[in-house]
Amino acid sequence: MHDSDDRSVTAIVVGYNHAHCLGRCFDSLMGQQGLCGLEVIFLDNASGDSSAAMSSRHPQIQLIRNGCNVGFARAVNQGLARATGRYVALVNPDTAIGPPTLRRLVDRLRGQPRIGLVAPVLLGEDGRRQRSLAHYPTLQGQLRRLLRRPTDGHNAWLVGALLVARRSLLLELGGLDEIYFVYGEDMDLSYRVQQLGRQLHLESGIQITHTGNPRWSTDRLVRIYGAYLRFLHRHCPAQRLPVGLSVSALWLLRGLAAGLPLKGVGEGMARIWARRPDLPLEKPQQ
């Protein structure tokens, strides 16, 4: 594959104990049509299941096995450093995409140079529409969400089950921000793309299946709330305190409702406010 290929794509898939869904994801990627070339790089973050072996079903998939769970953003950056396609698709392992999906998303970028990041509409396994755009966690964004104001590419970010961008743009941005271990990377990337004067675009005519995670564990809440505050620390520091107080109140209520001891609630609060990446826990909260 050469960078001069007009529709060459590198698909980067990061997995951690995703053996149950990787087969479908890889099969759908191998079935993509209308591209000049497709390179698939799978980064396995030290899974304890058979995730790494799943890539052997398709010998053309490049496998990178990390010795520990380095997180989503860092793994993507590893893949980006090896990518050769003109376009890069960040693909969640729990997705299934139709044969023309990548070509159509790439064609949108080719046809409208001002668009920097494009994504499809997300559907759950039951066919119901999932959230594909989300308000930023600023005070204005929270107010718009409470008032149920519609989201659009100007005041919201693209939920990253499948994101496609020019490789040159991702390199210009320095890849994903590794302050995010998991959750928040797509939000941060969307914002930085907009700060460069590029647009976000949700391709309403393209739908993909995204399983997602329906289980809202306390550990997941801590990671999401923490991602909000890391985002604000990076981009809207004046709003970190007021928004942080509001999400802290939510965490306190949810943590106590989940039956966590006060020590566990306090540990979660410290993780939410920490500015460093939220690394894996030896004993994750339930």
The DSSP result for 192-256, as a single string, is HHHHTTPEEEEEEEEEEEE-------HHHHHHHHHHHHHHHHHH-GGGHHHHHHHHHHHHHHHHH
The architecture (CATH level 2) of 8-210 comes to: Alpha-Beta Complex (3.90)
Task: Give this prediction's pTM.
Answer: 0.94
SS3 8: strand
Report d(CA 189, CA 191) in Å as an integer.
Answer: 5
pLDDT for res 142: 87
Query: 29 in the Ramachandran plot: left (φ > 0), alpha (ψ -120 to 50) or beta?
Result: alpha
Could you tell me the two tokens for 247? Answer: 């999400």
Count other C-beta atoms under 10 Å from residue 146's C-beta: 9
DSSP 157: E
Could you tell me the two tokens for 86? Answer: 């003109």
State the amino acid at position 169 in one-letter form.
Answer: L
Q: Which of 107, 108, 82 is nearest to 1 (CA)?
A: 82
Backbone φ and ψ of 64, nearest 5°: -120, 120
pLDDT for res 2: 45
pLDDT for res 37: 94
| Cα separation of the two ends of the chain | 45
pLDDT for res 143: 87
Report d(CA 255, CA 216) in Å as an integer.
Answer: 11
State the amino acid at position 233 in one-letter form.
Answer: H
Report d(CA 77, CA 65) in Å as an integer.
Answer: 14
Residue bearing tokens 């998939």: 61
* CA contacts within 13 A on the Cβ side of 100: 6
State the amino acid at position 163 in one-letter form.
Answer: L
Residues of the chain with pLDDT under 70: 1-5, 153, 281-286
Report d(CA 239, CA 15) in Å as an integer.
Answer: 33
pLDDT for res 144: 87
pLDDT for res 281: 56
pLDDT for res 148: 83
